[in-house]
Amino acid sequence: MPRTFRPRLTVVAALLLFLPPLEAAEKSSAYQAALSSISASELGNEVGELADVALEGREAGTAGGHAAGEHLAEQYKRLRFAGAGPEGGYFQPFAPNFRNVLAVLPGSDPKLRDQVIVVGAHYDHLGYGGRSSLGPYGYVHPGADDNASGTSAVLEIAQAFSLLPSPPKRTVLFAHWDAEEKGLLGSKYWVANPTLPREHVAAMINLDMIGRLRENRLNVYGVGSGAGWRRLVSLANEEGLHLAFRYDVSNRADHHPFYATGIPVVMFHTGMHDQYHRPSDAAQLINKEGLEKVARLVFAVAYELADGTASPAFRTATPVDPESPLTGKPVDRLGVGWNDDAATAGGVRVTLVKHDTPAERAGVQTGDLIVRFAGRDIRCDADFFATVSSAESPATVTVVRSESPKPVDLKVELVGDPLRWGFTWRVDEAETGAIILTHVVPGSPADQAGLAIGDRVYRVAGRDFADETEFARLVKTSAESLQLLVERDGRVRHVPLRARLSETIRRAA
Ligand SMILES: [Zn+2]
């Protein structure tokens, strides 16, 4: 098969060490203590209490639902949080006999404390069944995952905030919605009757079913609703979770009423299971260690939103993942097809010279064996890919021909810019200060460093960049090595690229 420039799968040994983002080290020890106060055992105990048969499945408006609300209010009282209900208490009642549980941590910065970050989860479930039960009916539906898991995480995160020596700059509202299972009634009611100024809500985090972490995989929904969500969540992901980002915003969860009024939202969710909306959604099936990881990640995200420089700017979410399609095929700089002839002849054999291309103009012929290009010996495919893509123009190509006793040097005027590091990119519409790799040249420094199509770059040489122009400038001005902060599946790591071809380029220039 003749080869032309096209993406191919490259398998590179995973030399990439997972390293936590730089901020981790910079955060204070008080922050670290608060973070590590979030524990699997406390979360597990709380899920156990909420899912206990005594609360009868926490259906909104029932005795069990009311008892669950009392229990939550008591926890906030114990933590000395102020209530954020309409009268300053913990409850926000609404018809017929439902109630949200609300507590607030006022921000510490006089200029920023008006802004509110909402961390919420619904605490109601299905009681003994009802219309949305998948059966069997007549038994307590404990709703351990749905949503004792999210409820206990909100409490545990609130407790972690309470351990900080001073609150974050912005205000945090901890919200436990009632009657979610009856049609998002609690969250809709709050949005229609906000107890803090709704126009000051900068972001909303929704936790719904986060107790069944499997294979370290966490779904993150709605990242399309705010510019910068994915970057912010990834940089906070010190737990090393595999994050599956979704850009659309479903209208079937409590974050939707917030989104509908122009607030950036994000929802965490560990995925569906066979016990969903059944009496078998029990506490013993909760992955407590997984719940701890998710709750710690959410605390880190909430803290960054509450204390960081900025929160994501609202944008209308696209149902389409901006990663698809990735069309980053670089220009064909030379215009040949070839076979790797490394084993028999030691070079690449030209099988095709395309019409009206640099190769044709330079006099390259079908059957030529290319042994040297731009001052570099060509032994195999990867050499050739990497060299052609990174060479300055004009370049000298050395070919061996059967009719000629000596190798022939040809001067070729390459088209397109040299890809020094061996990757092409485009901007991510949903994120400022991030680019997405659209092509990685086999054998290039980027390939050798293990980079792949779809990887996102957030920093160059330890520095943020504002836009594509600044990114391009930082990449161009790096000489011998290039330090990138790269994200893949929500995991961030430092990737050093080494300019192995620099000598070649200098000689050719
Ligand atoms: Zn549910």
Q: How far is the CA of 128 from the centre of ligand 1 (A)?
A: 13
CA 456 distance to own-chain centroid: 9
pLDDT of residue 319: 56
Q: Does 241 score more than 50 pLDDT?
A: yes
Give the pLDDT band (50/70/90) at residue 206: very high
Domain ranges of the chain: 10-18+420-500, 37-314, 336-412
Q: How far is the CA of 69 from the centre of ligand 1 (A)?
A: 17
User: Do the two domains 10-18+420-500 and 336-412 of this chain adopt the same fold?
Assistant: yes
**Beta sheet of 481-488, edge-to-edge order:** 423-427, 435-440, 456-460, 481-488, 491-498
Confidence (pTM): 0.87
Using DSSP, state whether 52 is helix, strand or coil: coil
Q: How far is the CA of 127 from the centre of ligand 1 (A)?
A: 11
Q: How many helices (H) and strands (E) does the chain have?
A: 14, 22
Residue 145 per-residue DSSP state:
I
Which one has a higher pLDDT value, 264 or 468?
A: 264
Q: How far is the CA of 124 from the centre of ligand 1 (A)?
A: 8
Q: Does 324 score more than 60 pLDDT?
A: no
Q: How far is the CA of 505 from the centre of ligand 1 (A)?
A: 60
Q: Does 195 score more than 90 pLDDT?
A: yes
Mean pLDDT computed over every residue of the chain: 89
Distance CA 496, CA 490 (A): 19
Q: How far is the CA of 473 from the centre of ligand 1 (A)?
A: 49
Q: Which CATH number fits domain 336-412: 1.20.1250.20, 1.10.1670.40, 2.30.42.10, 3.40.50.300?
A: 2.30.42.10
Neighbours of 426 (CB within 10 A): 15
pLDDT of residue 172: 98
Neighbours of 3 (CB within 10 A): 17
pLDDT of residue 354: 96
pLDDT tens-place string over residues 389-431: 989 999 999 999 988 889 999 999 999 888 889 998 888 777 7
Nearest to 190 by CA among 93, 123, 114: 93
pLDDT of residue 41: 98
Q: Which residues of 171-195 are buried (b: 16+ CB within 10 A; e: fewer)?
A: bbbbbbbbbbbbebbbbbbbbeebb
DSSP assignment string, 9-31: -------PPP---THHHHS-HHH
Nearest to 147 by CA among 323, 268, 300, 33: 268
Q: How far is the CA of 277 from the centre of ligand 1 (A)?
A: 6
Q: How far is the CA of 92 from the centre of ligand 1 (A)?
A: 21
CATH code, 10-18+420-500: 2.30.42.10
What is the mean predicted confidence (pLDDT) over 262-276? 97
What is the mean predicted confidence (pLDDT) over 435-451? 91
Superfamily of domain 37-314: Zn peptidases (3.40.630.10)
Nearest to 389 by CA among 331, 339, 327, 342: 331
Q: Does 204 score more than 80 pLDDT?
A: yes
